[in-house]
Amino acid sequence: MTESQHDRHHASHIFNLVVMVLGGIGLAWMLHDLGLDYFATAIANVGIWFAVILALDLAALCCDAAALQTFMRPEAGMVSYLRVLGAQASGRAINVLTPTGALGEPTKLSMLVTHAPRARVLSSLVLLNLGQFYLSVIAIVIGTPIMFLLVDIPYSLKVAIGIGFAVLVPLIIGLGVLVHRGALTTTVHMLRKIRLISAERMESWRTRVEHVDGHIRELQTNRTHGTWKGFLWVWSSRM
C-alpha cells in the first residue's frame, strides 16, 4: 500500500469512528427521551408484525446493497457484497440517527473508497439515490390520482398536494437536464464563474468529475447491463 493510500485508509477509519460516535449519541438521546419502557411497549403493541416489518426492512436493505454493488461494475468485483452491505447498513443507520440525515452517504463513501476507485464509488452512490428518488416520484404520480378516486380528500389537502406537484414537476425536469449536462461538471463551471476556484483548479476538477458524470448519465441514456440490473435491484427494494 502506498503512503497516500495508507493516509486515505487511516482518514477513512477516523471519519467512520467519529460518525459512529455521533450516531451512538443520537441513539442514546432518542432512547433516553422516549424511555426504554415506552420502546418495549411500542414493540409489544405491534406484536408479530414487528418481525414482519423488520424482515421486509432487512430485505430492502439487502436489495439496496445489491444495487450499489451492481452499479459499481466493472469494479464491483473489487468489493465483496458483505462489505457493500455493511457500508449500506452503516450509512442508513447514520442517516436515521443524525440531524439532516446526510452523514450516511459520506460514511458509505469512506467505507468503500479504500477498496474501489473513488469516482466509481461516488457515481454509484449517486445513481442509487437518484434511482430511489425517481421511483418515489413515480409512486407519487401514480398513487395520487388513485387516492383521489378512492378517498374523500379535504379541499385544503387537495390544494397542498397541488402545490406539491407544482414544485415537484419543475424539480424533476431541472434534475433531468442537470444529469444530462453533467451535474458535477456544471457545478465546477459555476464555481469558476463566481470565482470561487481558479482556472487551473477548474481544469483539474473537471478531469476528475467527467468520469463520474458519464456514469451518472446512464440514468437516462446508454444504460449498461450493470445499470439496468442495478435499477432492477432498486425497484425490488421499493417493492
Is residue 210 within 8 Å of residue 110, measured between CB atoms? no
Cell numbers placing 73: 461494475
Is residue 40 within 8 Å of residue 32, measured between CB atoms? no
Is residue 134 within 8 Å of residue 231, measured between CB atoms? no
Domain boundaries, the chain: 1-47+80-115, 119-239
Instruction: Give dist(CA 11, CA 47) in Å, integer.
Output: 43
Cβ burial 33-48 (10 Å sphere, 16+ → b, else e): eeeeeeeeeeeeeeee
Is residue 220 within 8 Å of residue 179, measured between CB atoms? yes
Question: Under DSSP, is residue 103 helix (H, G, I), strand (E, B) or coil?
Answer: coil
Instruction: Give dist(CA 31, CA 43) in Å, integer.
Output: 13
Closest CA relative to residue 15, chosen from 92, 128, 112, 151: 112
Is residue 15 within 8 Å of residue 112, measured between CB atoms? no
Distance of CA 214 to CAs 4, 98, 110, 185, 225, Å? 26, 31, 22, 10, 15
Question: Under DSSP, is residue 112 helix (H, G, I), strand (E, B) or coil?
Answer: helix
pTM across the whole model? 0.74
- Backbone dihedral angles phi then psi of residue 38, each to the nearest 5 degrees: -65, -40
Instruction: Give dist(CA 5, CA 189) in Å, integer.
Output: 29
pLDDT in tens, the chain (239 residues): 444 555 555 666 676 677 667 767 777 787 777 777 787 787 778 778 888 888 999 999 999 999 999 988 877 677 888 889 888 888 887 777 666 666 778 888 888 888 888 888 888 888 888 888 888 888 888 888 888 888 888 888 888 888 888 888 888 888 888 887 777 788 887 887 887 777 777 777 777 777 777 778 877 777 777 788 888 999 999 88
